[in-house]
Amino acid sequence: MSNKAKQNEPLVTHIYTADPSAHVFNDKIYIYPSHDLDHDGESNDNGDQYKMEDYHVLSMDDIDAPVVDHGQALHVRDVKWASKQMWAPDAAFKNDTYYFYFPARDKEGIFRIGVATSKNPEGPFVPEDNYIEGSFSIDPAVYVDDDNRAYMYFGGLWGGQLEKWQTGEFVADAPDPDENGPALGPMVAELTDDMLTFKSAPQEISIVDEDGNPLLAGDHDRRFFEAPWVHKHNGYYYLSYSTGDTHYLVYAISKSPTGPFVYKGRILEPVLGWTTHQSIVQFKGKWYLFYHDCSLSGGVNHKRSVKFTELKYREDGTIVTIHPYADEEK
């Protein structure tokens, strides 16, 4: 148990946490974060500093209630196919079961996405023997639609290896896409009814500007980098994501869960630290953005902390851009 949750402050301070996927289960907020390891090892563009080995699940009975750490929910040693780097996870509920989705490197060093199950939202989760066939790259986010169909969104550039799959096969030394050509989009795959496999091969999502032109790979302020997340508001699917090297959280909208999505704007200005990663959830009539920064560690990129803040829409459905340290700047 920790102190009461407060907006824009670390949810917990006894461990480093990142990449929060927040869900409302049983009228409580459950947060599925990465668990950052405290170490002084090498840092590079490959993301080797993100050495995470396990996951903890957090929960709050209310938005200002104490945060409960339910302890270890899954460890890499218990995942037969995985070797290291348990990165950003997500969870979903269907079939009276909680499903926990997580990326990790397989024994060949290739990122894959696995699934584990539990009867309880806090776990512990029991992993399947193999990763999801046809999965690759990182940052799974699962959206269960109103018609009960479930979609997994995933993908991340650079350390997340998405650009290495441009041919449909893993190419270890694949170049980044041409800066003047279309950017790589996140992937989407519908899940089978048992939530354990893909119904069909993942498809790339197209993100376009207001004129319908695909965002270009050189448009680093707007193009997809990692951390896809989908929520629904007023009949539109909102795809939010990180722009990576420009450090914005942005969003695009669509009438279809598989896109194309039209770019609309920024959700969060850069936080302290290189990565930025979010989830958006509605709780008791208000909307919240869960995100992370590195303020607790004084700016160490791989020692992050999960925070949350209220998110507001304008009448036309656009999101009001959040300035993460606005109160401190006043």
Three-class SS string for the chain? CCCECCCCCCCCCCCEEEEEEEEEECCEEEEEEEEECCCCCCCCCCCCCCCCCEEEEEEECCCCCEEEEEEEEEEHHHCCCEEECCCCCEEEEECCEEEEEEEEEECCCCEEEEEEEECCCCCCCEECCCCCCCCCCCCCEEEECCCCCEEEEECCCHHHCHHHHCCCCCCCCCCCCCCCCECCCCEEEEECCCCCCECCCCEECCEECCCCCECECCCCCCCCCEEEEEEEECCEEEEEEECHHHCCEEEEEECCCCCCEEEEEEEECCCCCCCCCCEEEEECCEEEEEEEECCCCCCCCCCCEEEEEEECECCCCCECCECCCHHHHC
Please report, as ranges, the residues that interact with ligand FUB according to CB under 6 A: 18-19, 34, 50, 87-88, 138-139, 156, 226-227, 275, 277
What is the nearest approach in angstroms of ligand FUB to the Cβ of residue 1? 25
Task: Give 3 or 228: the residue with its C-beta nearer to ligand FUB.
Answer: 228
- Cβ neighbours of residue 115 under 8 Å, at least 6 residues apart? 99, 100, 101, 102, 127, 128, 132, 195, 196
Active-site hit among 19, 36, 90, 122: 19
122 flagged as catalytic: no
226 flagged as catalytic: yes
What is the nearest approach in angstroms of ligand FUB to the Cβ of residue 154? 10
What is the nearest approach in angstroms of ligand FUB to the Cβ of residue 105? 12
Task: Give 36 or 122: the residue with its C-beta nearer to ligand FUB.
Answer: 36
What is the nearest approach in angstroms of ligand FUB to the Cβ of residue 10? 16
Task: Give 208 or 227: the residue with its C-beta nearer to ligand FUB.
Answer: 227
Active-site hit among 69, 90, 122, 226: 226
- Cβ neighbours of residue 44 under 8 Å, at least 6 residues apart? none
Q: How many CB atoms lie within 10 A of CB 323?
A: 12
What is the nearest approach in angstroms of ligand FUB to the Cβ of residue 152? 15
Task: Give 206 or 243: the residue with its C-beta nearer to ligand FUB.
Answer: 243
What is the nearest approach in angstroms of ligand FUB to the Cβ of residue 18? 5
Task: Give 87 or 98: the residue with its C-beta nearer to ligand FUB.
Answer: 87
Task: Give 227 or 294: the residue with its C-beta nearer to ligand FUB.
Answer: 227
**CA neighbor of 76 nearest in space, from 86, 91, 67:** 86
The residues assigned a catalytic role are 19, 226
